Amino acid sequence: MKPLRLRLLLGIAAVAAVLSWAGAKLWDARGALPGVPVFAPFVMAGIAVVLLATAISLRSRLKAVRERQPGAKGVDPLGAARALVLGQASALVSAVVSGVYAGVGIVLLGQLDIAVRRSQAITAGFAVLAGAAVIAVALWLQHICRLPEDHEGGPAGRPAAHR
């Protein structure tokens, strides 16, 4: 599995922001711009909390095993792989969702004199921040789940020059 890069996630968010900004401008021109869901930031923050709890748990368990602490609970490789996949999927979805809310939020910035639109702009801003938190925690989880480098070279301990 290839690791996600921050540059890729920022690119996805930027493309989603531009597309959603253009779509929101067109939708707003017709007078029917839908509202920003109030629970969007809470859902994104909840995902960030779940990923953070998973990352902290995995990190402490891996540290205990590495330090050979008595009674250390090992980490199931399949469980770690599932956590990694959850983190990467969450990061990709959060990049898209954050981009969408950023694009809509930019359109709403032009309508801050209307109380409802100001409230929606604030909600969109918090959703973008919560999405950024999901991405940050997912990248940290990915870092925790990395396998240690093989210092001997490659498979079966052969030096890298002899592969």
**Span 82-114, pLDDT tens digits:** 999 999 999 999 999 999 999 999 999 988 998
Q: Cα dist. 30→34, 104, 105 in Å?
A: 11, 15, 17
Going by pLDDT thresholds of 50, 70 and 90, the confidence category of residue 160 is very low
> Which tokens in the block code for residue 161?
């020059």
Task: Look up the pTM and report it.
Answer: 0.85
CA 133/CA 45 separation, integer angstroms: 7
Alpha helices in the chain (DSSP H): 6-29, 40-66, 77-109, 115-144
pLDDT score, position 151:
44
> Which tokens in the block code for residue 15?
């493309």
Q: Cα dist. 53→47, 59, 117, 140, 158 in Å?
A: 10, 10, 34, 12, 38
Going by pLDDT thresholds of 50, 70 and 90, the confidence category of residue 12 is very high
Model confidence at 159: pLDDT above 50 = no
157: left (phi over 0), alpha (psi -120 to 50) or beta: left
Going by pLDDT thresholds of 50, 70 and 90, the confidence category of residue 1 is confident
